[in-house]
Structure 1
């Protein structure tokens, strides 16, 4: 995340109070933002604003910075809730917030960050931004519901198309589509309709790459628990592809473990499942599909921005997007 975005966020959040309990609460609000992150989404937004003609030092650029802060605040409150919903152990290399403070306090902190996100929308003062942020929340929540509902119902009779619909809702809108659209609005431009299909393709590629990294033995600077998606019972393109051809005994072991809570899963059995996935062709299948979607998304985005005011910003945006949809450990 850019330092100026973090400064805006921390300046928006309270930091002092005579009551020690509320000082502790304010520290919780600042925890996830201060853990850092790659800042992909806010950077795409700022590059979109620049590509559409916003210049640093202008009111348009300041509005873009505030909208970048909106994206970062959105991600942080959603991650707090997501970690609770998935019963995750870690976030950005540290214990998840609910592991540190308990579920009720972490949930309340996420709700508070949600409110501060809307304060940042107001600070941006960009016509149309309110509706775009609402769309981002609606689509992300729909995708999250599919993800959580499949886990709750122990549903594994799913197609790869089901997975792709879920990630296009859960990941693509807040990772690519809305940042691109908000950047254009900050610069006073009408967003291109092509941002949606481009963002769906790029968002799918991004999420599939993330799913692959979660299963690799050495994911470098990944920042999440390796194998955590399996322990949480995540439906991924990799697992759904593997299940279609898995030997009956392996499939039975997998479904037996997936019927258990995370705490009750057998570590030895889960290590076997992880090894089976790594030895199958499903990781390569997912990588190949992500590559195809990544190239398709980049081509659509390049075409949508062919007449942009700042070609250098477009080139930087395409380079940033490519680095994330083709990332490897």
Structure 2
């Protein structure tokens, strides 16, 4: 995220210097925000605000910055909890917070960031922003529940539509739909009705691309372990499509591994599955679906931003969304 947003995030968090245990708590709250990240969602808030006519030199720009900081805090506390729920090893090139400090302390740190997120929203003073954040949390939690319960119940009798339902909740609202709306609200404008369908499609494209990168990406650029989705038993468009066409022997080997907890999975079999997926047409299929979702979302977004208060900023926003939905790193 941009330095001024990181500074705002850190300004809300407790300072060290009281007692050693609380110094440790303060350091944990700062850990994920200070690891970096692209700041995709916060930048979308600010891009939307500019497109809706808010000038960065205006006094009310401060509200947009607080909302952008709040979105960053949302992502970081959600990632702490998500890493625990998925039993992840790494986050942004370093061990996940619960790997460093244990699950109880990491949960508590995530809860703390959640509370400070609301302080950022309150400081923004932007009417409607509280409802937007509440909707973002509700939809993201619903999508996460679908994802987790399929793992918990060992469900593989799922369709591509099931997957798309999940990612449109888990990823789309906090990645695209709500950042677009928050930018409009910061500028004093009503969010366009098309932001929701546009964001649902663009968020799905983003997540499908992320699933592809989990199998094919550069670990240094991706920020998470390559192949982690297989170890965590994630239901992705790639695996669901592959299961429909996989040879019986490969399918059974895959399902046998997916019934095991992460520590008990056989690294060699997982490596074989990884190779089978890459050798199949399922990655190309997923990329084609992502391209279709991106085209749909971009078309709707262009319609929504016709007549935008700042046409140049609107074009920049659309360009940024195109890069996001078609990314390969």
Q: For this structure pair, what is the TM-score category when the shorter chain's length is used for normalisation? A: over 0.9
* Counterpart-to-counterpart distance in 1, 2:21 and 2:120: 25
Match of 1:46 in 2: 46
- SS of the residue corresponding to residue 262 of structure 2 reads coil
**1:137 maps to what in 2?**
137
Per the normalisation by structure 2, the TM-score is 0.99
- The answer on 1:159 being equivalent to 2:164 is no
The DSSP-based 3-state class of the residue aligned with 2:328 is coil
Residue in structure 1 matched with residue 75 of structure 2 by the alignment: 75
Q: Distance in 2 between matches of 1:250 and 1:323?
A: 35
Superposition deviation, residue 323 in structure 1: 1.2
The reply on whether 1:192 has 2:182 as its aligned counterpart is no
What pairs with 1:176-325 in structure 2 (closer than 5 Å)?
176-216=176-216, 218=218, 221-325=221-325
TM-fit CA distance, 1:141: 0.1
Q: Deviations over 1:283-313 (max 9, x none)?
A: 0000011011111111110110011111111
Structure 1 stretches lacking a partner, 5+ long: none
Q: Give TM-score, length-normalised by structure 1.
A: 0.99
> SS at the partner of 2:261?
coil
Residue aligned with 2:172, SS: helix
Partner of 1:86: 86
SS at match of 2:16: coil
Which 5+ residue runs of structure 2 have no aligned equivalent?
none
Count of residues in Structure 1 that have an aligned counterpart in Structure 2: 329
CA contact (8 A) 1:73 1:113 kept: yes
How many Å separate the matches in 1 of 2:81 and 2:136? Answer: 16
In 2, are the aligned partners of 1:213 and 1:219 still within 8 Å (CA)? Answer: no
Is the contact between residue 6 and residue 33 of structure 2 (CA under 8 Å) also seen in structure 1? yes
| Partner residue, 1:56 | 56
Separation in 1 of the partners of 2:47 and 2:199? Answer: 15
Moved over 3 A (4+): 217-220
Please say which of residues 105-114 and 219-228 is displaced more in the overlay: 219-228
What SS is found at the alignment partner of 2:309?
A: coil
8 Å Cα contact 1:209/1:325 also seen in 2? yes
Q: Compute the displacement of 1:219 (Å).
A: 5.5
Aligned counterpart, 1:65: 65
Q: Deviations over 1:218-254 (max 9, x none)?
A: 4661111000001000000000000011111111000
Per-residue deviation, residues 268-296 of structure 1 (Å, max 9, x unmatched): 10111000000000000000110111111
Please give the alpha-carbon distance, in whole angstroms, between the structure 1 residues aligned to 2:254 and 2:82. Answer: 24
User: Contact between 2:42 and 2:71, CA under 8 Å: does it hold in 1?
Assistant: yes
Alpha-carbon offset, residue 78 of structure 1: 0.2
Distance 1:198 1:274, change over 3 A: same
Counterparts of 1:282 and 1:8, CA distance in 2: 42
Distance in 2 separating the partners of 1:10 and 1:191: 29
Q: Deviations over 1:134-192 (max 9, x none)?
A: 00000000000000000000000000000000000000000000000010000000000
Distance 1:217 1:47 in 2: 27
Q: Is 2:93–2:220's contact at 8 Å kept on the other side of the alignment?
A: no
SS where residue 216 of structure 2 aligns?
coil
Conservation of the 8 A alpha-carbon contact between 1:90 and 1:96: yes
What's the offset of the Cα at 1:217? 5.8
